[in-house]
Amino acid sequence: MSMWDLTIGFIYLVLIMIMAMMIVSSFRKALMTISLKRLCSKVNGRVSQKGFRSFPRFDGEHGSRRVAVFFHIAKTKKAHPAYLLCTVAVDLPFKLFLLRKDEFKYLEGFNVASEVGPPLEGLKDGFKAWSDDGKTAGLILDDSGLKEDMDCLGEFPSFLFGPDHIVIGKQYEGRKDLSINKVVQELSVMERMAKRAEALCRR
């Protein structure tokens, strides 16, 4: 077999691998879209997708607040995992980012200090925290009701409070993460968190 034949064979192999990856990716996104469309039966909203290369997202209203469920691709050194993000609208005068300890892989490529604020010291509840207003953020960190709500969302290692959304995130692990009842329950907990956080800041 000549070098030319080996080269052509290698090119064909690469093309087949690329096509297989594209098919798998398209199928995965199709399943995500189906799951998010089923969510519309419980939460008033719509599913959109900008193109076949993008991931679907859900935008809607739960209770009296705007909510969204979408995906983000994290570009780390070793892989490009998909992260599931859920958001609920809120009105807070500060930003607070909480990350469960031992979950620092979620910070790769994200400069928390510049995006949110300096780290807060002395936490004893299993979280690392950053905020642009440590005093006001303390109202959130010290509230037992919000701690219980975050425990209810124990699968999610990261929480961002304010200024206009509460955002929770986790690495996407498959269709079980988009179970209708599961997502509705998570959005309900987040809506409760938003109301409680706003009430604390009005005191």
Closest-CA residue to 91 (of 145, 149, 146, 165): 165
**pLDDT number for residue 118:** 84
Q: Residue 122's pLDDT is what?
A: 66
What residues make up the domain containing 139? 3-202
How many domains does one find in the chain?
1
The string of pLDDT tens digits covering residues 86-130 is: 999 999 999 999 988 766 555 555 677 677 888 887 666 778 889
Residue 23 has pLDDT above 50, yes or no: no
What is the chain's mean pLDDT, rounded? 82
Q: Among all chains, which residue has been given the structure tokens 């990350």?
A: 99
Q: What is the pLDDT of residue 8?
A: 61
